[in-house]
Amino acid sequence: MNYPVSCANCGKPATTRCSGCLTAPEYRPGDAPATAYCDSKCQQQQWPTHKVQCRILNKRRTLLRIAELLKTALFAYRECVYDIPLTEVKYEEGILRLLLDPRKIPYRPWQIPFPSDLNISPQHKEAALATNQCTTAQCLLGPLARYLLGGIESTFKVVEVNAEPIVPWKFVWLSDSKDELRSLACTAVTHTILLVWLRGEGWVIDTTGCQFGFGDVLVPLNTYFKKRVKSLARGPFAYTEHETSDLDVFDCKLALNDTDTKRLKAAHERAGRLHFAKFVRERFDRYESPRPSEELLGGSSEEFQVRLARFKGDLKVHMASFVDFASGKERLSESG
């Protein structure tokens, strides 16, 4: 971002930038300029003119931080609670291939940490963590997302779209005889996203779009639909999901003749989700006060990134304790 070099009030060389709207995302090209001043006196004099735009940009910046926090929470969870036997990731001919080795599947169906020995780029790691997780993300993050978005007086809905991947991915199951390909259609895939309206502006929060090569977690709605969506699949719907909504539906479909392994895996996944929910509820004071979110989301960009990194580290420690416990148990209580 190119910052102005002159004071917005008197035109002299600027030495101070308005911290309230600094680093806010653009909704339209050029509509989020950083405002600069030569001193605090000029900033105070110009405030009546600047305050409306500043408050709009501040809300945008907070929304961006909410989106980053949601993505960070999801990925910290997935790094500790991973469920596919990934052995290698290759980018070939414009397709991201995830190589899976069935021999790496644990004897018991616990979730395990993401393999730390893979030599892959951060972008490909994010894609592997996000693969097939759009429904899980909307459920796992539901209560936290509603709590955070409620603090900025926004409205929001969930929608399913037929997205057009920039980088499609394929599962490649390895075997002794030949490779068996299970591929995601390269032309269009069903994808779940969160629509947010903030002071008349429509935004998309896409925590798992990185699996398709979508780089930004927060995108203006019109831009997102123009560049990434082929058609609307279903919705919008009210965002009412909680951490285990999809598992509740799955459990109802379990038949009496389903294997113990299938039931046990479902029970462990539920326990992991509830363990995540326990951490988040406690960290945000069980959603009863806006103060925890204000303390985390406020401040300068540098301060926010430090707090975000600390949040991620604490969550990974919390989830690692669950994995360590689960790996030695045949059955878990659903109490979290």
- pLDDT, mean of residues 215-235: 94
At residue 212, the pLDDT reads 93
Count helices and strands in the chain by DSSP H and E runs: 9, 11
12 lies in some domain: no
At residue 248, the pLDDT reads 85
21 lies in some domain: no
Alpha-carbon torsion (151, 155, 159, 163), positive or negative: negative
User: pLDDT tens digits for 237-259?
Assistant: 999 999 999 988 766 665 555 55
User: pLDDT class for 1, splitting at 50, 70, 90?
Assistant: very low
Q: Which distant-in-sequence residues (6+ apart) come within 8 Å of 149 by Cβ?
A: 63, 66, 156, 196
Q: Which distant-in-sequence residues (6+ apart) come within 8 Å of 176 by Cβ?
A: none
CA 325 to chain centre: 26
pLDDT, averaged across the chain: 86
At residue 331, the pLDDT reads 44
127 lies in some domain: yes
At residue 185, the pLDDT reads 45
Q: Is 150 exposed, middle or buried (0-12, 13-18, 19+ CB in 10 A)?
A: middle
2 lies in some domain: no
User: pLDDT tens digits for 3-62?
Assistant: 557 888 888 888 888 888 888 999 999 998 888 898 889 888 989 988 899 999 999 999
73 lies in some domain: yes
26 lies in some domain: no
The SS3 call for residue 85 is coil
User: pLDDT tens digits for 123-143?
Assistant: 999 999 999 999 999 999 999
Distance (Å, rounded) from C-alpha 281 to C-alpha 285?
A: 6
| More reliable by pLDDT, 157 or 33 | 157
At residue 335, the pLDDT reads 43
334 lies in some domain: no
Number of domains composing the chain: 1
Antiparallel, parallel or unpaired: β 16-17 and 36-37? antiparallel
At residue 133, the pLDDT reads 94
**What is the pTM for the complete model shown?**
0.89
Domain hosting residue 313, numbered range: 60-326
- pLDDT, mean of residues 68-72: 98
Q: Report percent pLDDT > 90 for the chain.
A: 54
Cβ neighbour number for residue 165 with a 10 Å cutoff: 22
46 lies in some domain: no
In which element (H, E) is residue 253 found?
Answer: helix 245-253
Give 271-332 as a DSSP string.
HHHHHHHHHHHHHTGGGT-SHHHHHHH-S-HHHHHHHHHHHHHHHHHHHHHHHHHHTT-S--
